[in-house]
Structure 1
Amino acid sequence: MRIISGKYKGRRIITPKNLPVRPTTDLSKEALFNILNHQFSFRELKILDLFAGTGNISYEFSSRGAEPITAVDTDFGCVNFIKKTAQQFEMDITAIKSDVYKFLERSKIKYDIIFADPPYNFSQEQFDKIYQLIFENELLEDDGLLIIEHSTQTKMEHLEYFNNSRKYGGSIFSFFEYEQEETDDDDDFDDDDYDNEEE
């Protein structure tokens, strides 16, 4: 795993082999952050990383100046690894061991970006519930963004605040945000920006 941009650009992080994870690939991660670069200035964004795994996405946000970051995972080994890595790099990441659904039910904090990377074998209902809990509990800032990573077998476009999706290999990023008034210079998802997209 490598950090692709920001303060720690090029740094490689060696993860234990026994963690039950499927990290977002470097290609997909780079494509995702190319998209986000057009919409956000990362400094001091409040980030929630759900099903955080190795912390791959959290480290990338932190390297670009986002803080604070909350990383949630149910696996004890993953949470300990994130804590250790965050301490090593002096990153403002709080790792929490919790069932993601229970965390979302209890949380009262609003975030600028929420990223969720559930296991690809989750049912459609399990994916939908992530979305429902986030919007029902109003966990996104008004101009915030929810990103859910999923396989091509899972469909997300039926949900109310679905904005767009991008496919990279066998992975899809689906984007959700509250409806905003359109302006002539506001085109967050311009197809010209995605030359690296795989068909």
Structure 2
Amino acid sequence: MPRIIAGALGGRTIPGPPGKGTRPTSDRVREALFSRLEGWDALDGARVLDLYAGTGGLAFESLSRGAEHALLVELHGPTVRQLRRTAAGLGLAERCEIRAGKAETVAAQLATTDDDPVFSLVFLDPPYGVSTETLETLLLTLRPALSDDALVVIERSSRTRALTWPTGWADDGTKSYGETVLQFGGPATD
């Protein structure tokens, strides 16, 4: 069972989604990822968007380490209910919103709604079946909902074609951890 590694809720467990074959980010990868995010000062006060939430591990870890708010998006209905129970059990219900829906649909809604928050940290950890082209299009759709200094973290299999950051986006590096590859990027600041 995944757990929150550090911060105010360090050591607390995160139940897995019911009856769904998710692949939670391993503790090793999450530890390395969050070490990097803390080094970049990307967590304190962050507004987090987790578009393929699964267990919610990345968003809950962010909140534990100082993020202000998180929006978790998940398509699978039973998983959405589990995320809500987990957020309440961790005492995070006031600092996060869990929304049911497709990542692409919610991204389009966020990009066209003036009263939604601007996100400074985005996690894209899609199922392996989601194509690289879909993610590239998703980034373009999502851009209006992101702060100019937003950081986007994409987690994929090492067997998947690497994402090419669209025009107007900066590549902030790639790290590999066995079968897992993390790509970092965000809007280019000229």
Normalising to structure 1: TM-score of the pair? Answer: 0.83
1:24 aligns to what SS in structure 2?
coil
Deviations 1:149-191 (A, max 9, x none): 112222114533222111111111111123347xxxxxxxxxx
Cα deviation, residue 99, structure 1: 0.8
For residues 104-160 of structure 1, give each alpha carbon's deviation from its aligned partner in whole angstroms, at most 9, with x where no partner exists: 11113320101111111222222222222122xx22111111111112222114533
What pairs up with 1:43-122 in 2 under 5 angstroms? Answer: 43-91=44-92, 92-107=95-110, 108=113, 109-122=117-130
Matched residue of 2:81: which SS? helix
For 1:14 and 1:99, locate their aligned partners in 2 and report how far apart those are by CA, in whole Å: 22
Instruction: Verify the 8 A CA contact 1:83 1:93 in the aligned structure 2.
Output: no
124-133 or 30-39: bigger deviation: 124-133
Q: How many residues align?
A: 179
Please give the alpha-carbon distance, in whole angstroms, between the structure 1 residues aligned to 2:137 and 2:189.
Answer: 23
Unmatched tracts of structure 2, length 5 or more: none
- How many Å separate the matches in 1 of 2:78 and 2:39? 34
Q: Name the aligned partner's letter for residue 170 of structure 1.
A: E
Tell me the SS of whatever aligns to 1:102. Answer: helix
Whether the 8 Å contact between 2:52 and 2:126 is mirrored in structure 1 is yes
Off by >6 Å, runs of 4+ in structure 1: none
Partner of 2:19: 18
For 2:140, the equivalent position in structure 1 comes to: 132
Deviations 1:35-78 (A, max 9, x none): 10111252321100111001111110111121211000101111
Identity, in percent, stands at 28
Cα separation, 1, equivalents of 2:182 and 2:142: 17
Could you tell me which of 138, 142, 145 is aligned with 2:148?
142
Equivalent residue number for residue 188 of structure 1: none
2:189 and 2:137 map into 1 onto residues whose CA distance is 23
Contact 2:15 2:86 in 1 (8 A): no
Give the 3 Å change call, closer, same or farther, for CA 130–29 of structure 1 in structure 2: same
Q: Distance in 1 between matches of 2:186 and 2:106?
A: 21
1:177 to 168, 181, 186: 186
Which letter maps to 2:147? E
TM-score of the superposed pair, with normalisation by structure 2: 0.87
Aligned equivalents of 2:54 and 2:64: distance in 1? 17
Q: Which residue of 2 aligns with 1:159?
A: 166
Moved more, 104-113 or 11-20: 11-20
RMSD (Å) for aligned C-alpha atoms? 1.7
